[in-house]
């Protein structure tokens, strides 16, 4: 029987069409585009699902679709959702449940789509080293979509997430390894560890067999994807059915080993809890007590995306081929990423402080206040993800900052034992004064000056990771520095 995880075929079996239930649509968007570069494909209660054309370099030959809630403000998060084999972007839009939470929590969703021209089963090429690496193939096409979405919708560059099913899950894991400077978090659903296979012949072994690698060896596959990277790593959710015979459950263990090693934490869970649908959640916390990795094991579920149709807050999606009625994985993944306004899951403890505000009070200072938390002995203040202070009161002034620079702050309550509770959602503040400096030069010189990096002959803006094209003395761009070690493309803007 054809399954969404059979990713190694070069030609589709003759019986492929007959194994796909008619309840899952295979229709795609109309081909004609409007002047805005979008094609209307479908409308939902809260927004519109459209094809977006002209999104930039497309070496992976993918199509871009997007769902944007009505009235979405700038600065909202962005989620990239990758379909499985024998599926389309439209299938994932209609069945996965992501649009419900896009409307509820306020974020845009990009649905990349591959097709039979790339793979006979319309699988993303998670196993092809020429297509799933930084700056190449399908991986580069997806990141170009992120750049386009940020331009169209004003998405927050610090809150971009990627999720995917089966082959889409394998590609999501690869993207998290390739672009930790782009994605703040990810979710791998019935998928594979990052860069498990580097050729089509090796893909089946990854799906079916224990690769017998240590956590450090798995972690090295991630570290090699972007050599020299020293910034923050994405937080990773892993979803796996215990009865999956297409992508065996050992893949979830390997994913757990891989990403806990990347985070430098152990493989023993910090906390576990039972969820609906026979699901067990195991959380692995970072040194600050915040979940870095979460493993969701769904008892008795086969190969597919866990959905839970219904009108409840924790219910979503529609059943169909490889959309299985167990639990709404999109709801719990959105919570894990903090898209519901929280800071993501942690071990049981104090709640996240509410009412966090931050405002620049001078060229080198930002003042923060928040509501006191009952039981808190002190608070942990984070600037751009780094803990910078532990004040006893529900207020703090951060000093010694750069003028005219934006910073992101989060606050967590700390109890008398020193245990840190959930962290608040990030709030932004900018110090006064100081014009943002711009630099126009060749890609070669931008790298030489430390404003960009290069990999595989291609150039990327430092911090934002925006693609700048070939690494040479002929290609010229303007980079604007918006923060310490953070540059964005600003051609024609300054």
Greatest Cα pair distance in the chain: 69
Beta strands in 135-290 (DSSP E): 160-165, 185-189, 235-241, 271-275, 279-285
Give the integer Cα–Cα distance in Å for 161 and 186: 5
Q: Which of 155, 157, 166, 455 is catalytic?
A: 166
- Please give the Cα distance from 111 to 41 (Å, whole number): 12
Distance of CA 53 to the CA centre of its chain: 22
For residues 281 and 291, the answer to whether their CB atoms sit within 8 Å is no
Token readout for 368 is 């923060």
The DSSP code for 424 is P
Is 27 a catalytic site residue? no
| Both tokens assigned to 387 | 């803990």
Give the CA distances from residue 106 to residues 69, 71, 76, in Å, rounded to whole numbers and listed in that order. Answer: 7, 9, 7
**DSSP letter assigned to residue 437:** P
**E strand or H helix at 381:** strand 378-383
| Nearest CA among 224, 152, 236 for reference residue 192 | 236
**285: burial class by Cβ within 10 Å (0-12, 13-18, 19+)?**
buried
Catalytic amino acids?
166
């Amino acid at each position: 029987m054809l399954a969404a995880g059979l990713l190694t075929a070069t030609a589709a079996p003759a019986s492929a069409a007959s194994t796909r239930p008619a309840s899952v649509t295979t229709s795609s968007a109309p081909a004609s585009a409007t002047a805005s570069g979008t094609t209307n494909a479908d409308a939902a209660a809260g927004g519109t699902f459209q094809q977006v054309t002209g999104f930039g370099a497309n070496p992976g030959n993918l199509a871009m679709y997007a769902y944007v809630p009505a009235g979405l403000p700038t600065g909202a998060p962005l989620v990239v959702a990758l379909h499985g084999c024998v599926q389309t972007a439209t299938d994932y839009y209609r069945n996965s449940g992501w649009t419900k939470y896009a409307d509820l929590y306020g974020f845009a969703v990009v649905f990349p789509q591959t097709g039979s021209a790339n793979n006979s089963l319309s699988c993303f090429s998670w196993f092809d080293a020429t297509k799933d690496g930084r700056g190449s193939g399908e991986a580069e096409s997806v990141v170009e979509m992120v750049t386009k979405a940020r331009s169209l919708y004003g998405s927050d560059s610090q809150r971009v997430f990627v999720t995917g099913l089966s082959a889409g899950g394998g590609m999501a894991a690869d993207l998290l390894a390739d672009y930790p400077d782009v994605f703040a978090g990810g979710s791998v659903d019935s998928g594979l560890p990052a860069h498990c296979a580097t050729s089509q012949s090796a893909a089946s072994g990854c799906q079916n067999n224990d690769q017998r690698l240590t956590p450090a060896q798995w972690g090295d596959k991630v570290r090699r994807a972007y050599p020299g990277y020293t910034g923050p790593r994405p937080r990773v959710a892993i979803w796996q059915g215990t009865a999956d015979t297409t992508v065996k459950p050992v893949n979830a263990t390997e994913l757990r080993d891989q990403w806990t090693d990347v985070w430098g934490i152990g493989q023993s869970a910090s906390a576990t809890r039972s969820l609906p649908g026979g699901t067990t959640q195991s959380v692995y916390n970072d040194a600050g007590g915040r979940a870095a990795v979460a493993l969701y094991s769904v008892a008795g579920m086969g190969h597919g995306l866990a959905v839970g149709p219904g009108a409840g807050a924790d219910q979503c999606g529609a059943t169909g081929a490889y959309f299985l009625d167990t639990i709404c994985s999109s709801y719990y993944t959105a919570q894990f990423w903090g898209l519901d306004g929280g800071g993501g899951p942690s071990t049981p403890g104090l709640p996240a402080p509410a009412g966090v505000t931050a405002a620049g009070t001078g060229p080198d200072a930002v003042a923060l206040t928040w509501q006191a938390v009952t039981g808190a002995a002190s608070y942990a203040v984070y600037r751009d993800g780094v803990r910078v202070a532990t004040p006893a009161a529900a207020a703090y002034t951060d000093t010694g900052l750069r003028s005219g620079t934006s910073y992101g702050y989060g606050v967590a309550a700390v109890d008398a034992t020193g245990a840190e509770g959930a962290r608040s959602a990030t709030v932004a503040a900018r110090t006064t004064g100081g014009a943002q400096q711009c630099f126009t030069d060749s890609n070669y010189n931008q790298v030489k000056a430390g404003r960009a990096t290069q990999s595989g002959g291609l150039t990327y803006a430092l911090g934002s990771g925006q693609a700048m094209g070939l690494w040479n003395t002929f290609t010229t761009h303007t980079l604007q520095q918006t923060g310490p070690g953070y540059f964005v493309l600003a051609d024609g803007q300054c």
